[in-house]
Amino acid sequence: MPMYDGPLQICPRRGWIETDVPFTRTGVDPDEEQLLLTLVRDSRVPDTFTRRTCYSLLSPWRTDVPGLGRVETAEIYLGAKGKDVSEPVPIQANAAGEAFDLAKIGQDLALCRYKFPALIPRPIGARFMDRNQIALFQFAERAGGLALIAEAHYRLVPSDQLSAQELEAYRLAAR
């Protein structure tokens, strides 16, 4: 198994299109990682990002992984497409400006391979951009380590500020 080491400073790219996410709690503290996990879960952002229906299993998840010892991940979802469970989706959450730890993402991969050996993990990092904006990043294992392969930005918007068409578009995107 490849070893992962050190922090990776990933900054959300400015100028990317943001998807408006209907939500009731806006203006939150961007330094709270647990709050970020709650907002990601409650707004169903993983569904839109992965194009799967994602079911949260446990937050946080702690278990022993052979060869690594005790491993903890912030949260794990199972992504499903139709009737098939297609992938475990571990999520690491970071406050605004905080670096992603590649070792933690590598541990997430190892935990998912151990618990779900027949499925291919899809590790994701979530990060506040500011009080009402969240960036999600998807990582994949490549020769020599991890690579960033996808990024998307979401803006938390009170539901009553979105039109019926915008709400329907979001509902369809989360399928």
pLDDT tens digits, one per residue of 47-81: 989 988 899 987 788 889 999 899 988 899 999 98
Q: What is the pLDDT at residue 108?
A: 92
- Residue range 89-103, pLDDT digits in tens: 999 988 877 878 888
Q: Write down the pTM of the prediction.
A: 0.83
Does the pLDDT value for residue 155 go beyond 60? yes
- Model confidence band, residue 26 (pLDDT cutoffs 50, 70, 90): low
In sequence order, the β-bridge partners of residue 7 are: 101
Please report the DSSP string for 114-142 in residue order: HH-TTS----EEEEEEETTEEEEEEEEEE
Does the pLDDT value for residue 123 go beyond 90? yes
- Model confidence band, residue 12 (pLDDT cutoffs 50, 70, 90): confident
Q: What is the rounded CA–CA span in Å between residue 39 and residue 74?
A: 13
Between residues 19 and 125, which one has the greater pLDDT?
A: 125
Per DSSP, 165 falls in state H
Residue 125's identity, in one-letter code, is G
What's the distance, CA 5 to chain centroid?
20
Q: What is the rounded CA–CA span in Å between residue 3 and residue 140?
A: 14
The owner of tokens 């998912």 is: 112
Closest by Cα among 83, 21, 72 to 46 = 21
Q: In the chain, what are the helix, strand and coil shares in percent, each to the nearest 5? A: 25, 40, 35
- Residue range 156-173, pLDDT digits in tens: 888 788 888 877 777 676
Per DSSP, 98 falls in state P
